[in-house]
Amino acid sequence: MQRFGTLSFGHYGPLGAGRELTAADSMKQATELAEGLDEIGVNGVAFRVHHFARQQSAPLPLMAAIAARTRRIEIGTGVINMRYENPLYLAEEAAAVDLLSNGRLALGVSRGSPETVVRGYEAFGYTGSTDPRGADIAREHFDLFLRAIDGEGLAERDPHSPFGGGHGLQRIEPHSPGLRSRVWWGAGNRDSAEWAGRVGVNLMSSTLLTSADGRPFDVLQAEQIEAFRTAWREAGHPGEPRVSVSRSIIPITTAEEDLYFGGRQDGDQIGVIDGIRSTFGKTYAATPDVLVEQLLADEAVRSADTLMITIPSQLGAEFNLRIMKSFADYVAPALGWQSTLTPAA
């Protein structure tokens, strides 16, 4: 494990006992947390994207705000639902955030997870899918998005335009060189991971896998990662792609953490999602020494270069910063992580 960061589901709404976390609260706390994580050397902060739900749905403005208030940390998504996206507008927004952050964007995209509504992307104007889950729309949008960020000319210039004119095809602006290398595809099965390898983007392995053959989740996920890397090599792409996995991890170092999460250890879960029998990963909640032993035995964590820790965002920035600092201090070094912070002069 070379890097680690957070993955926030960004929930807001009633908290009980008459308290409520508003959408504004959620975004402001996310920004505060990112600032704190940047200061202690955590490598990344990412946000889940869900439409028609009390969660993050338009993460790019939030990411731009974080970029302006941090210096080192990667700012990403896990994942943007491509069924809902205008690919050219997303290309403009992504390039803008990448430029503002000096190349710190880690843009995770995919078909997206199951929704709270029926075919919500059609309400956004994207119709005509022949797939009940809209995967064909997601792939079409992603293809055009990649062409746009690669700088391909996509619209005929107007020679009579008072704003420059010219001939030939015009690319999307702004353009951020190298953005393609910072794009990730979220994959929930082996076929999708192999496709990402052939296309030549990084792999963000999902928090679930649409497979349930009796083997542990981490073994299935490690197999998926190897299939992705094999596809990357066979396609002839240069260099090594990045791979991230997500885990729910709580280092228990205080009585408060034990109160919230003590006894929350569980095994892999089997369920049905989108009509497919799937395997969901376990929760790790234990003292740091136990976590080190458990995570070193996790085949996918060992295989990936980046670990994204799903955080209980409703508990606030201060609580989450504390558990991430505990992970950085007591767990991450034993997994191979080295802080990139420069010692104070």
Interval 138-159 mean pLDDT? 97
- Which of 270, 261, 274, 275 has its CA nearest to residue 310? 261
CA distance 209 to 153: 37
Length of the chain: 345
CA distance 75 to 60: 10
Helix, strand, coil shares of the chain, percent, nearest 5, are: 40, 20, 40
* Token couple for 255: 């009585």
Whether 344 shows a pLDDT value over 50: the answer reads: no
Percentage of residues in the chain with pLDDT exceeding 70? 92
Write phi, then psi, for 210 (nearest 5 degrees): -80, 60
Element of type H or E holding 245: strand 243-251
Number of CB atoms found within 10 A of residue 195's CB:
16
- pTM, two decimal places: 0.92
Distance of CA 150 to the CA centre of its chain: 21
CA distance 345 to 341: 12
End-to-end CA distance of the chain: 28
Q: Quick one: pLDDT at residue 208?
A: 67
Is beta strand 19-21 parallel, antiparallel or unpaired with respect to 74-81? unpaired
Interval 109-135 mean pLDDT? 92
* Token couple for 220: 């299935």
State pLDDT tens for residues 259-272. 888 876 666 655 54
Write phi, then psi, for 50 (nearest 5 degrees): -135, 125
Q: Quick one: pLDDT at residue 262?
A: 83
CB 189 within 8 A of CB 210: yes
CA distance 333 to 295: 12
CB 44 within 8 A of CB 77: no
CB 46 within 8 A of CB 59: no
Burial of 74 (0-12, 13-18, 19+ CB in 10 A): buried
Instruction: Go through 243-264 and write b for each residue having 16 or more CB atoms within 10 A of its CB, e for each that does not.
Output: bbbbbbbbbbbeeebeebbeee
Write phi, then psi, for 160 (nearest 5 degrees): -100, 5
- Listed range (39-53, 132-146, 160-174, 224-238) with the worst mean pLDDT: 160-174
Q: Quick one: pLDDT at residue 7?
A: 95
Element of type H or E holding 171: none
Q: Quick one: pLDDT at residue 165?
A: 76
